[in-house]
Amino acid sequence: MKQAVKVTKLHFSYGENEILHGINFQVTKGKIATLIGNTGGGKTSLVKLLIGLEEGEGEIELLGKKVEELSTSDKQSIRVVFANSYQEIRTKTVKNALVLSLKNLNLKKEEINQYIDDIVTLFKMDDLLSKNPKELTKEEASIVAIATALVTKPQILFLDDAFIHMGAIVKKRIFRILKQLNRKKHMTIFNVTHDINEILNGDYVILLYQGKVVLKGEVEDVIKSEKILKKYHYELPFMAELSDKLRYYNVIEETILDMNRMVNTIWK
Amino acid sequence: MEIRLEHVSSFDQISSLQDISEEFSANKVYGIIGKSGSGKSHFGKILAGRQPLQQGQIYYDNLLIQPISNHEQYLEIQKKVGYVAEDLDFIMATVFEELAKKIKEQHYRESELEKRVFDALKMVGLSHTFIDRNPRTLSTGEQRKLALAKALICNPKVVVLDEPSFGFDPFEQKKLIKLVRMLKTRYHKIVIIISNDLDFLLPVVDQILVMEDGKVKMNQTKYQVLKATRKLKNMGIQVPKMIEFSDIVLKKKKIKMGYRDQMNDLIKDIYRYAEWGCHNQHHDN
């Protein structure tokens, strides 16, 4: 089984409005895919379909199985975090939220503690554990929402604008953790966002516009598709554009997408 | 038109404002930035009368609007201030009713109702085909537009927007920028935007207030605030990539390139400084 996500001829409507018009794409297992798309273009509907919260026409396969045939234990390895997931943490403490998240895994008590320890170490969130989620800032609560999803050690993580309440530094830190899990545990990540710069954090890009997939491909190919991105009102990511222009003027020789490396290359 | 805060303090479980005295005037757009929990949303709520004060007063011109002491005063604030909260909440069954409800609260004539609803939808760029939709079935971006229409429908003098660009793609963001500019120049409103999205804020705001721990740490023109790049970064605010790049060049190579917002200007600068090395920089300081 090579594909973590496989979507074939997927249609979806709200009443008479068709939101998704027969879309196709695949995400290889262990990759980070970034989905960008226009306001009202069907991004959140798509995520809801992928995790079985909505039903459409067509076929969705996760980890090689049709989404409607996933067993309860299969579902444990698929997690989602929405922009407002932080509001749905209703336990008395953050620790309880983590315990609750593990309840369907049938773990022994020691195992539960081990799983929680692992995530707390990874997120360095000891100080949050005994807090009441209601007392957290949105930024802290959004971190907890992601930690609650990751504590179960999922194989696929869907993120729908999950970083929207995080400042730049925190967002970078959390993404570094996600990348680490992606590399070491081969967790597949499906990140839905508005920020074109985020595609540089991943391997694969899908551009959804008015319910159709208008561009898909590896990151290095997508950043060469400036014309198509422009057609759908997206600029190139800043570093991709800068790199392009500096190569054109022979200031640098190869594409450089890391800012520090770029500065060190220009001023050797 | 002017808003004046005098020694305002206000607090709840999560955030607080401590002894704030500031002024806002018409024909200007203000940005309020600060990290999560700094009190910036709280600031928006007190301006819109959604959160009580523990101390101090807020005046619109010479009219005292906070602390609120009776229902008439509350209605007056609702009329004067259009407010879009960060977390949206719709209670009516259709988009039309949601907007109509707001007008009815302000005792407008029934005959005006329909026209106002359609004008408001047009202003924010939400198609009239949405009027029978349930607000809760709209996408994130569409819900924000509906909330914006609701805030503008009674033609308020002051507009307070908390994270208005959430859920907006770049195209919608550009339209929102145009709308905010129009609110300022054509309708002479005071516009206050709470957001850490500097890519969205910089093209529209004149002045930026930086919040930290319930206090206003800076109240300056946007250009002056941008000079404090390091400080903004430490607060977790994403500075525009162009500025981040110049900042790394300054930090690592001690070359001062100044503030650029056009890619071509940045390229010219790089070309200049890369070719001539560091020798030239003294001329530009």
ipTM: 0.80
A103-112, A118-127, B103-112, range with greatest mean pLDDT: A118-127
Q: A165-178, pLDDT tens digit by residue?
A: 888 889 999 999 99
Phi first, then psi, for residue A211 (nearest 5°) are 80, 10
Nearest residue of B to residue A141, measured between CA atoms: B36
B-contacting residues of A 162-181, CB under 8 Å?
164-171
To the nearest 10°, the Cα dihedral for B51, B52, B56, B58?
50
Note whether A44 contacts B139, CB cutoff 8 Å: yes
pLDDT of residue B282: 45
Q: What is the DSSP string of A118-137?
A: HHHHHHT-GGGTTS-GGGS-
pLDDT > 70 fraction of chain A, expressed in percent and rounded: 100
Note whether B242 contacts A238, CB cutoff 8 Å: yes
Entry pTM: 0.86
Full pLDDT tens readout for chain B, 285 residues: 799 999 999 998 888 999 999 999 999 999 999 988 899 999 999 999 999 999 999 999 888 888 988 888 888 888 899 999 988 889 999 999 999 988 888 777 778 888 999 999 999 999 888 999 999 888 888 899 999 999 999 899 999 999 998 878 888 889 899 999 999 999 999 999 999 888 899 999 999 999 999 999 999 999 889 888 888 888 878 888 888 898 889 888 888 887 777 888 888 888 888 765 444 444 443
Integer angstrom CA distances of residue A83 from A27, A80, A93, A165, A211: 22, 10, 21, 8, 20
Note whether B169 contacts A194, CB cutoff 8 Å: yes
Which chain A residues touch B203 with a CB distance below 8 Å? none
Note whether B169 contacts A39, CB cutoff 8 Å: yes
Asked if B25 has any chain A CB less than 8 Å from its own CB, the reply is no
Asked if B69 has any chain A CB less than 8 Å from its own CB, the reply is no
Which chain A residues touch B281 with a CB distance below 8 Å? none
